[in-house]
Amino acid sequence: MHRRTLPLSQVYRLLEPGPVVLLSTARAGRPNVMTMSWHTMMEFEPPLVGCVVSNRNYSFDLLRSTRECALNVPSADLADKVVACGNASGRDIDKFAAFGVTAITASHIAAPLVGECFASLECKVVDTRLVRAYNFFILEVVKAWIDPARKDAPTLHHRGMGRFMVGGKTITLPSRMK
């Protein structure tokens, strides 16, 4: 897949609509990936993203100990892999091998990017003050990647209990922001 650098000032445009993402981590060379929909933009630049990662998940241990992850944005055609990664634990299996997900090397973090996703954000944990109370990690995006040919790909939006909304067409309306 062709990837180019996405300016950090543009990162909010990927996450503001709230797509389901794949959060990838790694420890001691062993990667993991989990599905996540509880995330929110918190700042434009540097982009800050808050997310809830349950302390029951293996990813919680990896994120807390390594303080690094990638947020990968899948298009709707990856729905089967997205659901699979959200219903199995890396404690039990290698989800990359089991579900045919490709780990590719990131530039600023040890955690891998998910090759099938049209955008990937390399993140460092910058604030853990709300982890104890809410399992809420604050991440700074330090590098962002996008496949320009698929930047408007339809995304998945979780509506609970196995139901998803699929992103539709993009429309342009007046905005103060250039």
Ligand X SMILES: Cc1cc2nc3c(=O)[nH]c(=O)nc-3n(C[C@H](O)[C@H](O)[C@H](O)COP(=O)(O)O)c2cc1C
Site residues (CB under 6 A) for ligand X?
20, 32, 34-38, 52-54, 57-59, 83, 86-91, 158
Q: How far is the CB of 71 from ligand X (least distance, A)?
A: 11
**Nearer of residues 39 and 143 to ligand X, judged by Cβ:** 39
3-state SS, the chain, equals: CCCEECCHHHCHHHHCCCCCEEEEEEECCEEEEEEECCEEEEECCCCEEEEECCCCCHHHHHHHHHCEEEEEECEHHHHHHHHHHCCCCCCCCCHHHHHCCCEECCCCCCCCEECCCCEEEEEEEEECCCHHHHCEEEEEEEEEEECHHHCCCCEEEECCCCCEEECCCCCCCCCCCC
Sign of CA dihedral 51, 57, 59, 60: positive
∠ CA(67), CA(3), CA(173), 5° rounding? 95
Measured from the CB atom, is 98 or 149 closer to ligand X? 98
Q: Which is nearer to ligand X, 23 or 119 (CB)?
A: 23
Q: How far is the CB of 90 from ligand X (least distance, A)?
A: 3
81: nearest Cα among 38, 31, 40, 20: 20
- In the complex, the smallest distance separating the C-beta of residue 151 from ligand X, rounded to whole angstroms, is 22
Cβ-based nearer residue to ligand X, 8 or 165: 165
- The nearer residue to ligand X, 86 or 112, going by C-beta atoms, is 86
> Measured from the CB atom, is 8 or 125 closer to ligand X?
125
Rounded to a whole number of angstroms, the minimum distance from the CB of residue 91 to ligand X is 6
CB of 93 to ligand X, least distance (A): 9
Q: Whole-number minimum distance, CB 89 to ligand X, in Å?
A: 3
CB-closest chain residue to ligand X: 86
